[in-house]
Amino acid sequence: MKPACSYAATHAASLANPAGFWAAQAQHLAWDRPFAEALSQDENGTYHWFRGGQLNTSFLCLDAHVQQGRGNQSALIYDSPVTSTLRTYTYAELLDLTARFAGGLRNLGVAFGDRVIIYMPNMPEAVVAMLACARLGAIHSVVFGGFAPHELAVRIDDAQPRVIICASGGIEFDRVIPYKPLVEEALAKATHQPAHVVVCQRGFVTAAMQLGRDVDFATLLQSEPVPAVPVPATHPLYILYTSGTTGRPKGVVRDHGGHAVALHFSMRTIYGLAPGETIFTGSDIGWAVGHSYIVYGPLLRGCTTVLFEGKPVRTPDAGTFWRLAAQHHAKVMFTAPTAIRAIKKEDPEGLLAQQYDLSGLRHLFLAGERCDPATYAWAGQLLGVSVVDHWWQTESGWPMLATLVGLEGMPAPRAGSAGHPVPGYDVQVLDEAGHPVPAGTTGLVAVKLPLPPGCFPTLWHDDVRYQDYLKTFPGYYLSGDGGYRDSEGYCYIMGRVDDVINVAGHRLSTGEIEEILAAHPAVAECAVLGLADSLKGQVPAGLVVLKDGQAMGEEQLEKELVAAVRARIGALACFRQVLVVARLPKTRSGKILRKTLRQLADGENFALPATIDDPLILDEIRAGLQRRSLGAAFETSPPTPPML
């Protein structure tokens, strides 16, 4: 690799002249047609990167490396303890499979701009499907396999896919989850119907096929290979749905050009990886982290990516992640803090890690939620490598705050902090009036426009909701997170300031859960809170007011509401607790005092809001939370002792 540049100079250059800076970064990639302008604005003021340019992400991830003589290098290592499979794919093999599968999709009528939904667990066929869509200029939308049929149906109706690609099933620990019946249930609920469902049959569960509509994945792999179609840089590569503050998910759009430039840059500067080196990202391809750092980032850079099908624990044990890193010679590992907490819970002394040679590992990157300092320290001492907490969102698609290990002069990572602004991001902490706050003061975390390449240029068919991110403070993207910057420039992201919660690194809308609870015939009104949880960061709990005359017991109501949330969103919501209360604390104008409720449950000191209509209700709720041991402040089990 070339000698590293300095962080300070690189960040300053990226803000002083964004167009020039990113035009230079774009030269690392092969363009079918050069862009006219690196950065431009349309008549609505929306920024676009690399308009006029043409390229293809699938070509850059596969063909480009094969053409440069890296065909025999490992591109993807599929390691699946749950199916006892270990298989390595070279760049040449992955290209061949992708080009053939793209040919098969084309034969099914999939063309430029068509949407394709992928509902599969972490398996190589899912990666092939993503790259094949990209190859045709079709737009994929991967839906996390843990979502229930209702959520899949909402995404089907929004994306209107020509084809759905699914696996016959997945495995959760030792439980087989047949996926095809979930797809059928979703299709029965959806208005839009795809022309075809492509099914990847897996040995442990066979899906029934519908004649005429369903096609075998393996059959499509026998098709003639097709070349990558050059697409405009601004053409959508994928849609990835994420939770907003309402029940309707937001379809984050990612384009081909900006995304490729940004991820290539990030692989070099944030993760410090050279072509041929290995990254193991312990996430799911259904999340932004999986899209960017299991699939696209590593392949754009010519790295080897480890695709792991399993969990950090019990598949088969809490040493799995360390085994993966050692066996596949990972230089960088990336996962969510909740995964490290799960490992720490089962192997507090880190004895399993000692069974593996981790001397090749350089860094552990964490994201998805704030890494609590105890987990940060535990991982650092166990692995003896730098632990880098870095901050990003589905919307950005790559980190906004980080410690960039590929740049010189970078201040060392620090526990509790997500680091410093990544080049391209002018991260600011603002007060409620939109003015920057002094160092050490908590405020709303925003990014000054233009956002760098790779960030979402819009929401799928919903520019109105896209503008919601930009309208609070003109000239800024509002992240929805609160935090502060200290006097040395370290940034701290402390949590959401809206109705989004983070459960085991998964983003959920409390508003959506409230909609489900409110639909129950016994419920008059409700509020869903994210309660602090020592393993999952947060878990949702419902405070419910019964309709007058309702005599349903708390236990029975809880059972029914838990089942309703599981059926509508999926088990991943981890919604298990309901507390019946007489009233909810509100302002005199009728707004539920959510922040106060959360502070109460977390045991934080708070000033009684001057606008509260009935302060006594808080005492009643406090007693209820205590009775049910809900919330950090009222947990009866002893706190985990600090390790090491």
* Interacting partner of 170 out of ligand COA, ligand AMP, none (Cβ under 5 to 8 A depending on kind): ligand COA
Binding positions for ligand COA, 172-191, rule CB under 6 A: 172, 177
Query: Given phi > 0 = left and psi -120 to 50 = alpha, else beta, which region is 212?
Result: left
**Closest listed residue to residue 147, CA positions, set 126, 120, 168:** 120
* Interacting partner of 297 out of ligand COA, ligand AMP, none (Cβ under 5 to 8 A depending on kind): none
Residue with Cβ nearer ligand COA (71 or 368) = 368
Q: What string marks each residue from 368 to 407 as x (binds ligand AMP by CB under 6 A) or -?
A: xxx------------------xxxxxx-------------
583-to-140, 487, 519 alpha-carbon distances in Å:
45, 43, 18
- Return the range that interacts with ligand COA (CB under 6 A); candidates 60-68, 320-328, 567-575, 595-603: 567-575
3-state per-residue secondary structure call for 281-301: EECCCCCHHHHHHHHHHHHHH
CB 169 within 8 A of CB 204: yes
Does the protein bind ligand COA through residue 146 (CB under 6 A)? yes
* Interacting partner of 390 out of ligand AMP, ligand COA, none (Cβ under 5 to 8 A depending on kind): ligand AMP
Burial class of residue 511 (count of CB atoms within 10 Å of its CB; 0-12, 13-18, 19+)? middle
Alpha-carbon distance of 37 to 34, in angstroms, equals 9
Q: What string marks each residue from 295 to 314 as x (binds ligand COA by CB under 6 A) or -?
A: ----------------xxx-
Residue with Cβ nearer ligand AMP (38 or 513) = 513
Residue with Cβ nearer ligand COA (93 or 309) = 309
Binding positions for ligand COA, 268-297, rule CB under 6 A: 283-284, 287, 289
**Closest listed residue to residue 307, CA positions, set 130, 161, 134:** 130
* Apex 599 CA angle, 597 and 602, nearest 5: 110
CB 366 within 8 A of CB 387: yes
Residue with Cβ nearer ligand AMP (369 or 512) = 369
Instruction: Read off the amino acid at residue 45.
Output: G
Pairing of strands 175-178, 169-172: antiparallel
Q: How many CA atoms lie within 13 A of 451 on its CB side?
A: 29
The number of helix segments (H) and strand segments (E) in the chain equals 20, 31
CB 65 within 8 A of CB 91: yes
Shortest spacing between CB 566 and ligand AMP, in angstroms: 20
Two tokens, residue 229: 């179609």
Binding positions for ligand COA, 505-544, rule CB under 6 A: 505
Residue with Cβ nearer ligand COA (96 or 284) = 284
Does the protein bind ligand AMP through residue 278 (CB under 6 A)? no
Please, what is the angle between helix 180-189 and helix 149-159, to 10°? Answer: 60
Phi/psi of residue 452, each to 5°? -70, 175
* Interacting partner of 418 out of ligand COA, ligand AMP, none (Cβ under 5 to 8 A depending on kind): ligand AMP
Q: What string marks each residue from 224 to 253 as x (binds ligand AMP by CB under 6 A) or -?
A: ------------------x-----------
Does the protein bind ligand COA through residue 229 (CB under 6 A)? no
| Interface residue with ligand COA, options 99, 130, 306, 336 (CB under 6 A) | 336
CB 45 within 8 A of CB 463: no
Shortest spacing between CB 157 and ligand COA, in angstroms: 21
Helix, strand or coil, per DSSP, at residue 444: strand
Shortest spacing between CB 500 and ligand AMP, in angstroms: 7
Two tokens, residue 422: 């990544």
Shortest spacing between CB 407 and ligand AMP, in angstroms: 19
**Closest listed residue to residue 228, CA positions, set 66, 384, 343:** 66
Residue with Cβ nearer ligand COA (413 or 505) = 505
Q: What string marks each residue from 463 to 502 as x (binds ligand AMP by CB under 6 A) or -?
A: ----------------xxx-----------x--x-----x
Shortest spacing between CB 614 and ligand COA, in angstroms: 36
* Interacting partner of 58 out of ligand COA, ligand AMP, none (Cβ under 5 to 8 A depending on kind): none
* Interacting partner of 574 out of ligand AMP, ligand COA, none (Cβ under 5 to 8 A depending on kind): ligand COA
CB 158 within 8 A of CB 342: no
Alpha-carbon distance of 264 to 298, in angstroms, equals 8
* Interacting partner of 19 out of ligand COA, ligand AMP, none (Cβ under 5 to 8 A depending on kind): none
Shortest spacing between CB 442 and ligand AMP, in angstroms: 13
Q: What string marks each residue from 533 to 572 as x (binds ligand AMP by CB under 6 A) or -?
A: ----------------------------------------
- DSSP letter at 408 equals B
Alpha-carbon distance of 239 to 397, in angstroms, equals 11
Binding site for ligand COA (CB under 6 A): 121, 145-146, 170, 172, 177, 283-284, 287, 289, 311-313, 335-336, 338-339, 342, 367-368, 504-505, 571-572, 574
Binding site for ligand AMP (CB under 6 A): 242, 288, 367-370, 389-394, 418, 479-481, 493, 496, 502, 507
